[in-house]
Amino acid sequence: MTLRKAGGLAALTCAATYLVGFVMIVTVFAPLGFGSGDVDTAAVVAFIAERPDVMIAWNAVIYIVNALALAVLVVALRQQIAVARADAAVLTGTLGMIWATLVLGAGMIANVAVEQTHALTDYPGAAASLWQTLHAVELGLGGGNEIAGGAWILAVSLSALKGGTFGRVTAGIGVLSGAAGLLTILPPLGDIIGAVFGLGAIAWFVAVSVALLRVRRETLGKRVAA
């Protein structure tokens, strides 16, 4: 398997992890306040006491699986961008690895929070305080903002468009999603702009996958726009 193909499959994996995250938020975790900006800490502790495996599995998918797939995609895209722009490849590769590291760290913190909270379920007050503290750390690493991801997607989209790796549609989706990610630095925009980033990222990951997995017809002397 070539790195280009591995990157395409990794992009699909990233899109799938985002979809799982959205589905779980609007179904299983909606009663707990996830996605609303007003999480019910007591309800979270009660949920963890009964079903810790569900939350651990969710964290593993949206953070850990996503981060590992993202690392592969970052390397694959850096290789493609380097063909035309070596300087841009270094920049995008660095931004991408920073994001992948933050996502992985957020996932490990999130699962430690579940494990430690479950161990304290006989003491609801202490369990709630511990989960809330670790959840704040998780959000600070990347669960509550998308600045690193927005910067990477924006940089990759612009660089790949100029180098011919992406077509205008793929790059356009990336620019919109990346800009939304950067705007999550503004607290008042919070959940709404975060949702825009997430949905845009799903579309972008799918488009990137198509761009990387398609068969290039060099004999035609051009690439089909993604």
Q: What is the mean pLDDT of residues 111-121?
A: 96
Q: Which residue do the tokens 């990951």 mark?
A: 205
Mean pLDDT over all residues of the chain? 90
More confident residue, 139 or 73: 73
Tell whether the torsion through CA atoms of 123, 30, 52 and 146 is positive or negative. negative
Q: What is the pLDDT of residue 134?
A: 95
pTM assigned to the model = 0.90
Q: What is the pLDDT of residue 35?
A: 73
Rounded distance between C-alpha atoms, residue 108 and residue 55, angstroms: 12
pLDDT tier, 218 (very low <50, low <70, confident <90, very high otherwise): very low
Q: What is the pLDDT of residue 178?
A: 96
Residue 224 has pLDDT above 60, yes or no: no
176-192 residues labelled b (16+ CB within 10 A) or e (exposed): bbbbbbbbbeeeeeeee
Residues 4, 76: contact at Cβ < 8 Å?
A: yes
pLDDT tier, 191 (very low <50, low <70, confident <90, very high otherwise): confident
Return the half-sphere exposure (C-beta side, CA atoms, 13 A cut-off) of residue 205: 25
Q: What is the pLDDT of residue 132?
A: 94
Q: Which of 55-59, 102-106, 189-193 has the lowest mean pLDDT?
A: 189-193
pLDDT tier, 216 (very low <50, low <70, confident <90, very high otherwise): low
Q: What is the mean pLDDT of residues 165-180?
A: 94
